[in-house]
Structure 1
Amino acid sequence: MKIKKQLLCIISILFFSNHFFAQYAINKKILWTTDWNHDGKLLAVGGNLDTLKIYSKSNLKLHKSFPIKSTITRVKWHPSKNSIAVATQLSKNKSCIINLDTNEKIELNEISPDGARGIDWNYTGEYLAVGDNDGQILIYDMKGNLIKNFKNENNKGITAINWHPKKNILVTVSDKIRLFDIDGNLLKSIKHRTEEVMLLSTAWHKSGNFFVTGDYGDKHDKSLLQYWSEQGELLQSIDISKGEYRNLTWKRKGDRLATASDALRIWDIKGKLISEGKSTDYLWGISWNKQGNKIVTSSLEQNIIVWNNKAKKIATIE
């Protein structure tokens, strides 16, 4: 794991050449992302296996699949409708919105040719935000019409984007944490540590009072999970993980945070570690179900695992 971490650290340094990182991601078959839908009946999994797969909760069997060439970097279900937003990278298939009821696919225009890694619906489901690999933030309506686009302050590629749960405010992460309003005004820019370390993930708490970020880790294998106030003030840093925080997500109730890194870890709202589930490889995608009693993860070695809310493995999806 140490050698693998060192290799991935080199890739992290070279990330800001998006072509290099994307080419690596194509060569390595990884399940980047997973998400449970709003009613907990379907879950989506994607990566660079040229297919978006939708599984049924009832039997964990394949329900539908959609061919999407190259890398699916992130999927995000609409908060109330049977539609899913899909971000792609170095793909002939653009990032898109797919309606599962009709199988209609709406392509999202004006995104960087290098693709995107950040995608998220706002709290009403009225707007979809995409953060692309040129540092551009694009906002679409539900029909895929572009209504606003703007760039971060130095054009660095965006690795994750997340809407405030009650306001039309966005947090983005890349080389820094940046907060924007829906009109593109930069509200706050934060250098999260003294070293040059890429951030990979972020999620607002459902209260909107704070958000959490996870980074890639430095040369000493120290990856930080950090809690920030709504105004961007650091509340605490946690450095127990030896793996990068690829993704993190709050339980709908808001009392637990689940993180994907070298293990599945479950935290309370104050950053206290509650449970830990060991993994044989690095976890990349993660999502809670509606009820908050199950978590699904996807991984570097293409494993899809369902866990209970105590971080115990209960099923594997083939």
Structure 2
Amino acid sequence: MYSQIKHIKNAHDDGIWSVGWSKRGNKIVTGSVDDTVKVWAGDTYVPLHTFEGHQLGVISIDISPDGSTAASTSLDSQIRFWDLIHHTKTDDKTIEAGPVEAWTAVYSPDGRHVATGSHNGNVNIWSVEERKKERPLETRGKFVMSVAYSPNGLYLACGEEEGPVHVFDVPTGRLLHSLPGHSMPVRTLTFSPDSTLLLTGSDDKRINIYDVHHGNCLSTLAGHQSWVLSLSFSPDTVHFASGSSDKRAKIWDVNARQCIHTFDDHDDQVWGVAYNEDGTKLATVSDDRSLSIYQTG
């Protein structure tokens, strides 16, 4: 059931820190320390286009819900938007966010906003259309390293460099929960497709599963030998994938609370994992500059 379909060495000229697989249009998008964003065909895995514009590496990328656009962030303090249909950059929509005001970018489920973490502990909500900050969500904590919207659009979660995880009510901006459970940076988090569960991954090598509504930790999973860098929930809500600086990607069974498969084809830390639309394939990217595609269903 689990097998490697494709391994693309030197997919970028430097480490690859982020990957997304569009829910529409079947495209894979990767972001690299080499300052480029690349688009790949989700069926043949051939490169379709390379976007250039960032100057200090691409930290994160996310694909809009309709599959038409990708957003990327960089240490150059810019949020850039890329047209995945016509393969053009949209300079008129570039946002000058300010130093470390846009660490990790994620689209809202309606595609109208992008949320980013910041060094001062806030989550910034940006209007895609108007290219401006609409409001900050205050955690009163420190550097926000990871951000995620729930698929139903009601919640936004963020993870801090010192371990806390915060969950906000999106319509009101009210802080609902501050979740304990990690003591080190939370570099990744994601909601389940039904928005009832929240997964968090940390430098403490652990993955926590939280009940979103009640704010309690349901389980703590161990298995990686180093930092957990990336998480992706499968559309079937039964499985999720994780990537780690131990050079491995793992598949987990949510109900059994255990790892059911490990991929160890990368030669360096696995910064990104992303399922395709139906959950039958998984893309992973690494500091070894490679992109791998796996059969998962």
Q: TM-score, normalised by structure 1?
A: 0.79
CA distance, structure 1, for counterparts of residue 200 and residue 286 of structure 2: 19
1:213 equivalent in alignment to 2:200:
yes
Q: Displacement, 1:151?
A: 4.6
Q: Displacement, 1:77?
A: 0.6
Q: What is the aligned counterpart of 1:200 among 183, 187, 197?
A: 187
Q: What is the aligned counterpart of 1:53 among 30, 35, 38?
A: 38
Q: What is the aligned counterpart of 1:256 among 236, 239, 244?
A: 239
Give per-residue Cα distances to partners, 1:286-317, cap 9 Å, x unaligned. 1111132111111122121111117xxxxxxx
Q: What is the aligned counterpart of 1:229 among 205, 211, 232?
A: 211
Query: Match for 1:184: what amino acid?
Result: G
CA distance, structure 2, for counterparts of residue 33 and residue 144 of structure 1: 26
CA distance, structure 1, for counterparts of residue 241 and residue 150 of structure 2: 18
CA distance, structure 2, for counterparts of residue 57 and residue 246 of structure 1: 23
Cα RMSD, aligned residues only: 2.1
CA distance, structure 2, for counterparts of residue 234 and residue 41 of structure 1: 34
Aligned to 1:177: 165
Q: Displacement, 1:237?
A: 0.5
Query: Match for 1:41: what amino acid?
Result: N
1:282 equivalent in alignment to 2:259:
no
Task: From the superposition, tell whether residues 58 and 235 of structure 1 become closer, same or farther in structure 2 (CA, over 3 Å).
Answer: closer
1:244 equivalent in alignment to 2:227:
yes
CA distance, structure 1, for counterparts of residue 138 and residue 127 of structure 2: 21
Aligned to 1:269: 254
Larger deviation, residues 293-302 vs 262-271: 262-271
Query: Match for 2:113: what amino acid?
Result: Y
Q: Displacement, 1:72?
A: 1.0
CA contact (8 A) 2:127 2:134 kept: no
Give per-residue Cα distances to partners, 1:171-207, cap 9 Å, x unaligned. 00012101112343222112324xx411111011111
1:94 equivalent in alignment to 2:81:
no
Aligned to 2:24: 39
Larger deviation, residues 56-65 vs 204-213: 56-65
Query: Match for 1:197: what amino acid?
Result: M
Aligned to 1:134: 120
CA distance, structure 2, for counterparts of residue 177 and residue 29 of structure 1: 31
CA distance, structure 2, for counterparts of residue 119 and residue 159 of structure 1: 10
Give per-residue Cα distances to partners, 1:114-160, cap 9 Å, x unaligned. 35332212222233212223323222334253352225333522111
Matches within 5 A, 1:69-84: 69-84=55-70
Q: What is the aligned counterpart of 1:152 among 127, 130, 138?
A: 138
Query: Match for 1:94: what amino acid?
Result: Q
Q: Displacement, 1:62?
A: 1.7
Q: Displacement, 1:252?
A: 1.9
CA contact (8 A) 1:286 1:297 kept: yes
Matches within 5 A, 1:288-307: 288-307=275-294
CA contact (8 A) 2:25 2:67 kept: no
CA distance, structure 2, for counterparts of residue 145 and residue 33 of structure 1: 23
Q: Once the two structures are aligned, what percentage of the paired residues are identical?
A: 17
CA distance, structure 1, for counterparts of residue 43 and residue 240 of structure 2: 25
Aligned to 2:176: 187
Q: Whose strand proportion is higher, 1 or 2?
A: 2
The number of aligned residues is 273
Q: TM-score, normalised by structure 2?
A: 0.85
CA distance, structure 2, for counterparts of residue 216 and residue 304 of structure 1: 23
Q: Whose helix proportion is higher, 1 or 2?
A: 1
CA distance, structure 2, for counterparts of residue 149 and residue 36 of structure 1: 28
CA contact (8 A) 1:122 1:168 kept: no
Q: What is the aligned counterpart of 2:295 among 302, 305, 308?
A: 308
Q: Secondary structure at the match of 2:124?
A: strand
CA distance, structure 1, for counterparts of residue 274 and residue 41 of structure 2: 15
Structure 1 alignment gaps of length 5 or more? 1-27, 218-222, 311-318
Query: Match for 1:253: what amino acid?
Result: D
CA contact (8 A) 2:24 2:65 kept: no
CA contact (8 A) 2:126 2:133 kept: yes
CA contact (8 A) 1:48 1:69 kept: no
CA contact (8 A) 1:97 1:144 kept: no
Structure 2 alignment gaps of length 5 or more? 1-12
Aligned to 2:10: none
Q: Displacement, 1:59?
A: 2.8
Query: Match for 2:78: what amino acid?
Result: K
